[in-house]
Homo-oligomer: A and B are copies of this chain.
Amino acid sequence: MDGYGRLDGISPPGRLAGPAEGITLEELALAARNHGLPLEALRYEVTPPGLHYVLVHYDIPAARAEDWRLTVDGRVRTPLALDLASLRSFPAVTHRVTMECAGNGRARLDPRPVSQPWLVEAVGTAEWTGVPLRLLLAEAGVGADAVEAVFGGADHGVERGVEQDYRRSLPLGVAAGRDPEVLVAYGMNGGPLPPQHGFPLRLVVPGWYGMASVKWLTGIRLTAAPFTGFQQAEGYRYRREADDPGEPVTRIAPRALMIPPGFPDFMSRTRVVRPGEVLLEGRAWSGHAPVTRVEVSTDGGGTWSEAVLTGPEGHGTPHPWAWRGWQARWTAAPGSHVLGVRATDATGAGQPVLQRWNRGGFGSNHVQRIAVLCTPESG
């Protein structure tokens, strides 16, 4: 179904780290090439390029905009092959979208799934410009028996023994929907897509974890049966055991993050603040519904107090799929403190203090913990 054969010798099966096993050099190689949002960059409502998280499964493809073609075929009335100029002739829209990697938080799980080792920083918000996917599907004419749209990217590699181009599908109702409105995007933050974000063309699925937003998009195929390729049927599933079929990873669970206050130690990243009033602030988001509440703890989760939500109110506003700001005030007293923050959305879903473990390390949204030392001026 992925169109290539198996390559097992160089491609280890999925595994969990041993009880005392440190991060491996293979995990580090992924952490060194991909990157998260340095948490102080939560200060930017739209994340500048280079600070937005990036996860590339294989290599960033060498792409030439002049030669790029997007095909739309399968269960359609009129197959399309569109160059970038053709795509730009469709009405363009810009959506501000918060995107998060489904594996965010994985490296703090116990036992730790061995994969891209995110701690908490795999998130970012961008202004994506492109064509609503529903317009392209209408142009091609959706066949009566179509049930899914399968999206193919140019990123080519091997994963768990399976050689593949990166491919993911969406149910037709999501692909052709207006809430969220899925984009075929050629612009980011007012410029072309950077190479690592999918130049020249990518999918953007607001509210869903990043694996749905296929980069370096070359083809859209409507199918009469659900897609069973690797990234749909094997990867990106919530499962407890290796042989459990699991449930698909879809929308983003609620999460709030705090800009670590004060200043850090280089190596431990422990924060130092001065005694007195400290402004705590950050961002909160959910892919299910608007964030309705953010609470802050300054005693390691023992007690919680309400933060003030700032900025646009969420779904129904100009930026329905982007994070919201929040602020709280804290009077810091000398000593050691553990800060935390948690979000609740309009469905009532919140964030657990303890991890919800699954074998792939997906959808983890347990509460961020920030160690802070409050101490008078040392100089």
Contacts and interface: CB of A to CB of B under 8 A. Distances in A.
A32 B22 contact: no
A49 B48 CA distance: 10
Interface string A107-133: 110000011011101000000000000
Given A23-B24, A50-B196, A56-B38, A378 B31 contact: no
Nearest to A269: B29
A373 B9 contact: yes
Contacts of A56: 38
B117 A28 contact: yes
Q: How large is the interface on A (under 10, 10 to 19, 20 to 34, 35 or more residues)?
A: 35 or more
A66 to B, nearest CB: 17
A267 B159 contact: yes
A260 B58 CA distance: 11
A41 B195 contact: yes
A144 interface: no
B118 A32 contact: yes
A16 to B, nearest CB: 13
B59 A38 contact: yes
Interface in A48-73: 48-52, 54, 56-60, 62
A145 to B, nearest CB: 28
A379 interface: yes
A377 to B, nearest CB: 8
B196 A266 contact: no
Contacts of A268: 10-12, 26
A27 interface: yes
A334 interface: no
A27 B43 CA distance: 24
A26 B269 contact: yes
Nearest to A163: B378
Contact of A159 (B5, B22, B117, B266): B266
Contacts of A375: 7
A36 interface: yes
A332 interface: no
21 contacts: A4-B378, A7-B272, A7-B373, A10-B265, A12-B268, A23-B27, A28-B28, A28-B117, A30-B267, A31-B32, A32-B36, A38-B59, A40-B59, A40-B62, A41-B60, A43-B62, A48-B194, A51-B196, A114-B267, A115-B267, A159-B265
Interface of A: 3-7, 9-12, 21-36, 38-41, 43-44, 48-52, 54, 56-60, 62, 107-108, 114-115, 117-119, 121, 156-160, 163, 194-197, 260, 263-270, 272, 371, 373, 375, 377-379
Given A4-B379, A50-B194, A156-B263, 7 more contacts: A22-B22, A23-B25, A31-B31, A32-B118, A38-B60, A49-B194, A50-B54
